[in-house]
Amino acid sequence: MSDRTLPISDSAGALGERWAGGRLGAGLSLRDCRPTRRRVWRDRRNKALVILAVLITLLPVGMILYHITSKGLKTMDWEFLTSPMPLSFRRAGGGFLNALVGTVIMVGLAAAVSVPLGIMAAVYLVEYGKRNWLAKVIRFFSDVMTGVPSVFVGLFVYTALVVQFGFGALMGAASLAIIMLPIIVRSTEEMLKLVPQELKDASLALGAAKWQTVVKVVLPSAAPGIATGVMLAVARAAGETAPLILTALGSYQLTAKLWGEPMSALTLAIFDGARNPFAAGQARAWAGALELLLIVLVCTIVARVIASRSRIKR
Amino acid sequence: MRSSPVAPPAGTWRRRGVGRWADSLFALFAALSGVLILLTLAYMVISTTGTALPVFGSQGLAFVTSSEWSPKNGKFGALAFIYGTFTTSVIALIIAVPLSLGVSLFLTEYSPRRLKGPIGYAVDLLAAVPSVIYGLWGVFVLLPLFLQPAADFLAKYLGFIPIFKGPPSGISYFGAGVILAIMIIPIISSLCREVFATVPDDERQAAYALGATKWEMIREVVLARGRAGVISAVMLGLGRALGETIAVALLIGSKVSIDASILKPGYSMAAVIANQFQEATGEHIRALVGIGVVLFAITIVINMAARALAWRFSRP
């Protein structure tokens, strides 16, 4: 069979032979080329399996949303949102205000550090580095950094900072910033690459310096895409538990002190609630989970909305 | 820097004052931000390895070959944790890979247009849920509802196979593996979806023209074309599963032992760090940091291999 011109693969001839049932001889009719019953059956079975896989996967999605909402709403009230944790897991009432404040402070601090640094690093990769070796190395290792287990980041901040300065919000924020940084660098880089060269040329032709072009033309036109990446990084940081155990430690107190005192976070409070055997503590953990899930989902949805409204798209 | 299409006459439009330095300062600041990433990563390795070095020294190879872990007696053998990490991750892959392939094939090949968006969003939603919520849900909902009954079932009917030997516990390698599977499905399936979407339509049509059924087309064109991408996606999912901490800590049972049966409680590297850190002192802390270093090394190797693979095959 002369099939070498077909683009699919070297074995295309053999496949055609099998699929057409080796009946490509003289007197060929379409009826002869119909797949055998066995092949039709296998086709249907595999389609059913694929659909089954989708249904199995959708099951936990629905269950998690349902259980977190229904169990969380039982304890979620004004008191939960506005009061700190009671000192015992046995006692009912109270809430996660201290944990919410902790999450907001630490994620906020982490974003304040990692967003400008990440954006500048991406600007270097796209506008200055292009294809030189330094840019390649940075790109590769920021990819590597996204794969670092978050608990290891916590260990690092512990050995580098906590040993000297003690547990606290700043240490927690440092670990979150390290987790957010590579996410922001890579997503910003993707967006900056999409800014049309004509736009930059126009700005340069009007006499703007390179830095003015970057600040006033490149970054604003990529802003929605950058914001999307930042929101996703914030959502990821707000959901981190392991690094905070090693850096912020967790606390029952409502505090805004940035160092010298351990700080709680929503994830830490939920983790403690899930580990203890008392119903009151567990009930608060469910409400905390609902609170955290809402924060994370709002960030994710805002990110999607910004992305879909952006004029520059992937 | 890219030269302007029309070069200004030398000297006439030269910037004065601060403006003269602004450009190079900006470039320098940008480069420094990039270099800071490298420095952070390097310092991460140095600082943690430095802290763990005394333990590596005193324990020697026993640190990774012994499973005796008794901080009181100064014995630190992490083999049970390494075993638990790999066992749970392998269970997670066995469950997650077929499901992820199914989801991504459905979304790229089978799904009617109307369903594509909603189902895609729903699966991506799994990726946004924080791991502590998976842990909470796993312990209080999935355990009584599915994990314990499934473990009982496996032990009852397949108990003659050593890996399913009873008495069964839902809080086990198996339970942790199932939760990990749910967590890595969105990662593997979104990467696979991208890979399958790049398969040219011509080749699909060519397979049909040769008389292939839909499934034969998928197997010989979509899966064959995307093999490298799928392997790379699976490895990235594995990297995530190895480093996952909180959900595993809540569901693996926190027992320092190596058991052939996946229905028995065990321990994982990340879980032991999260569980024991708050009570640890001195040498014990160094040992936990040492476990972190080993975990880091393993995940880095797997991630780099996955990226190298993706990079090699992404070029035409």
Question: Is B71 exposed, middle or buried, given 0-12, 13-18 or 19+ CB atoms closer than 10 A?
Answer: middle
A93 and A187 housed in the same domain? yes
Residue labelled with tokens 């849900």:
B137
| DSSP class of B162 | G
> What CATH number is associated with residue A205?
1.10.3720.10
Q: Does B288 touch chain A (CB under 8 A)?
A: yes
Q: Beta partners for B75?
A: B70
Best A3, A6, A8, A39 residue to mutate vs chain B (most B CBs within 10 Å): A8
Best B53, B101, B132 residue to mutate vs chain A (most A CBs within 10 Å): B132
A10 and A153 housed in the same domain? no
Q: Do B136 and A285 touch (CB under 8 A)?
A: yes
Question: Is B4 exposed, middle or buried, given 0-12, 13-18 or 19+ CB atoms closer than 10 A?
Answer: exposed
A188 and A302 housed in the same domain? yes
Neighbouring residues of A12: CB distance < 8 A, sequence distance ≥ 6: A3, A6, B206, B210
A188 and A262 housed in the same domain? yes
Alpha helices in chain B (DSSP H): 18-59, 62-65, 79-105, 113-128, 131-137, 148-158, 173-197, 201-209, 214-217, 224-225, 227-243, 246-251, 269-276, 282-314
A134 and A10 housed in the same domain? no
The answer as to whether A314 is a domain residue is no
CA distance to partner chain B, nearest, from residue A256 (Å):
22
The CA distance from A134 to B31, in Å, is 9
The CA distance from B257 to B277, in Å, is 19
A213 and A269 housed in the same domain? yes
The CA distance from B165 to A286, in Å, is 34
What are the tokens at A203? 């700005």
Q: Do A241 and B214 touch (CB under 8 A)?
A: no
Q: What ipTM is given for this predicted complex?
A: 0.91
Phi and psi dihedrals of A303, rounded to 5?
A: -60, -45
Cβ-based contacts of A149 with chain B (< 8 Å): 242-245, 270, 292, 295-296, 299
A100 and A226 housed in the same domain? yes
Phi and psi dihedrals of B70, rounded to 5?
A: -135, 95
Q: In degrees to the nearest 10, what's the CA dihedral of B215, B216, B222, B224?
A: 130
Cβ-based contacts of A63 with chain B (< 8 Å): 137, 141-142
Q: Measure CA B294 to chain center.
A: 15
The answer as to whether A114 is a domain residue is yes
The answer as to whether A100 is a domain residue is yes
> Taking chain B, what is the end-to-end CA distance rounded to the nearest angstrom?
30
Per-residue pLDDT, A144: 87
Per-residue pLDDT, A255: 86
Mean pLDDT of A16-30: 57
- Per residue in A139-197, pLDDT tens? 989 988 988 999 999 999 999 999 999 999 999 999 999 999 999 999 999 999 999 99
A24 and A71 housed in the same domain? no
Q: In degrees to the nearest 10, what's the CA dihedral of B244, B246, B248, B249?
A: 130
Across the interface, which of B102, B131, B296 has its CB nearest the CB of A148? B296
User: Is the N-terminal amide bond of B167 cis, ω within 30° of 0?
Assistant: yes
**Residue A89 pLDDT exceeds 90:** no
Cβ-based contacts of A96 with chain B (< 8 Å): none
The answer as to whether A301 is a domain residue is yes
A168 and A136 housed in the same domain? yes
CA distance to partner chain A, nearest, from residue B162 (Å):
27
The CA distance from B228 to B232, in Å, is 6
Per-residue pLDDT, A93: 82
What are the tokens at A247? 């850096």
Is the full-model pTM beyond 0.80? yes
The answer as to whether A30 is a domain residue is yes
Cβ-based contacts of A200 with chain B (< 8 Å): 2
**Residue A112 pLDDT exceeds 70:** yes
* Lowest-confidence region among A89-98, B68-77, B277-286: A89-98
User: Which residue of chain A is at minimal alpha-carbon distance from B301?
Assistant: A144
Phi and psi dihedrals of A263, rounded to 5?
A: -130, 150
- Per residue in B199-241, pLDDT tens? 999 999 999 988 899 999 999 999 998 888 899 999 999 999 9
Cβ-based contacts of B100 with chain A (< 8 Å): 57
The answer as to whether A39 is a domain residue is no
A238 and A262 housed in the same domain? yes
CA distance to partner chain A, nearest, from residue B146 (Å):
11
A85 and A128 housed in the same domain? yes
Per-residue pLDDT, B316: 43
What range does the domain containing A16 cover? 1-34
The answer as to whether A2 is a domain residue is yes
The last residue of a domain, from among A24, A56, A75 = A75
Looking at the structure of chain A, the number of domains it has is 3
**Residue B246 pLDDT exceeds 80:** yes
> Taking chain A, what is the end-to-end CA distance rounded to the nearest angstrom?
42
A102 and A221 housed in the same domain? yes
What percentage of residues in chain B have a pLDDT greater than 90? 79
Cβ-based contacts of A67 with chain B (< 8 Å): 137, 141
